Amino acid sequence: MTPPSAEAATLGAAPAIERRPPSFALGPIAWLRANLFSSWLSTAVTLLLAYFLVSWTLSFLNWAVVNAIWDVPGTGQQVDTSACRAARGEGACWALIGEKYRFILFGLYPFDEQWRPALVVVIFVALYVISAMRRFWRKELALIWLAALTAIGVLMWGGVFGLPYVEQERWGGLVITLILATFGIAFAFPLSILVALGRRQTSMPAVKALCVVYIELIRGVPLISLLFMASVMFPLFLPEGMNIDKLLRAQIAIILFAAAYLAEVVRGGLQAIPKGQYEAADALGLTYWQKTGLIILPQALKISIPPLVNTFIGMFKDTSLVLIIGIYDLLNTAKTSIIEPAWQGFGVEAYLFVAAIYFVFCFAMSKYSQDLERELDKGRRR
């Protein structure tokens, strides 16, 4: 009789015991060893990069905090920036921001009325927060938007409720950026969905052709040229005496531009939906708009969240291009704030300040989209 092999011995015995993985595969030390110090080369690269990271961080902190100048004597025309000039290259001149932040944020809006654009910024942020929460996703949200936008219009223009009238040419800064981006997205997104749906209408060639021409024409030119057209050429076509204000024209150009890009993103999502979903909806007797609104778009838009948010973020920053047609958005006010001789040369500080503001908004969008994706995925994974 042959002795039982190892294999035979385990067969039919008690079920294999569940064990923890060996200790070298778990814990932070194991992670470090596997990812940072797995060979002499990777150890060398890790140490080199760590050195650069630490030394760069230290020198930045030196410039931005330790040697920074937070205050300078004098104000307005009498300001004395010699301390800042002496520290050039050694320490940041944050005194610039202290002196100019009202101008950077609100532009030429009358100084005593600047609480109004400040309140508008707060309303905008509140609007974003409410719209971001899924439990507010119902019909009433449209009313909230309408109310908020009316309040924003009243606050910005004034002329009613004892608020002095402020003409649109004096608006500027963060409010302009938020207006252009918010209205841009709020109008471009629905428009893009219609265009994307239109482009897929094989049974309606005229509609399809119109959508294709729109997308290709708008995508084929730079945003700057559209803004120029809106600002310079468009008024030539208007009848004598009629005038649409410059901000509105820029706003329309941004909406049309963004919608063309978004339409292609949405179309990508639509194409990812299997034919069977359309057929199942048809077989149940749903109409075209029921099928589209209840079955196709919820799935297509969910798939499109990453590229959609990508485009939204791009759009948010593209609003800064309006500076070339003389609209004072956030970037333009920052650029203008260092135009006085006393403050010339402190561009890094001004641009870092607005970059931080842009970053907060863009990063919030990005973070929110990740959370939304995760939430919509909950319990639906195979």
Partner 1 sequence: MAEVGELGKVQVRSAVQPDAKPMIELRKVNKWFGALHVLRDVSLTVRERERVVVCGPSGSGKSTMIRCINRLETHQEGQIIVDGIELTDDLRNIDAIRREVGMVFQSFNLFPHLTILENCTLAPIWVRKMPKKEAEELAMEFLTRVRIPEQAKKYPGQLSGGQQQRVAIARALCMRPKIMLFDEPTSALDPEMIKEVLDVMVELAESGMTMVVVTHEMGFARTVADRVVFMDRGEVVEVGPPKEFFGNPRSERLRTFLSQILGH
Binding positions for partner 1, rule: CB under 8 A: 274, 276-277, 279-287, 290, 294-295, 298-299, 302, 376, 379-382
Among candidate residues 314, 361, 380, 343, the one with its CA nearest the CA of residue 101: 343
Whole-angstrom distance, CA of residue 196 vs CA of residue 189: 10
How many C-beta neighbours within 10 Å does residue 146 have?
Answer: 10
User: Minimum distance between the CB of residue 136 and partner 1, rounded to whole angstroms?
Assistant: 19
239/276 with CB nearer partner 1:
276
Whole-angstrom distance, CA of residue 382 vs CA of residue 377: 10
User: Minimum distance between the CB of residue 273 and partner 1, rounded to whole angstroms?
Assistant: 10
User: Minimum distance between the CB of residue 312 and partner 1, rounded to whole angstroms?
Assistant: 22
Among candidate residues 177, 352, 175, 159, the one with its CA nearest the CA of residue 254: 177
Are 361 and 124 a contacting pair, CB within 8 Å?
A: no
User: Minimum distance between the CB of residue 302 and partner 1, rounded to whole angstroms?
Assistant: 7
10/290 with CB nearer partner 1:
290
90/282 with CB nearer partner 1:
282
197/254 with CB nearer partner 1:
197
15/274 with CB nearer partner 1:
274
| HSE-CB for 332 with a 13 A CA cutoff | 21
User: Minimum distance between the CB of residue 352 and partner 1, rounded to whole angstroms?
Assistant: 43
Whole-angstrom distance, CA of residue 183 vs CA of residue 255: 8
User: Minimum distance between the CB of residue 200 and partner 1, rounded to whole angstroms?
Assistant: 18
| Sign of the alpha-carbon torsion through 126, 132, 135, 138 | positive
Whole-angstrom distance, CA of residue 11 vs CA of residue 19: 18
235/293 with CB nearer partner 1:
293
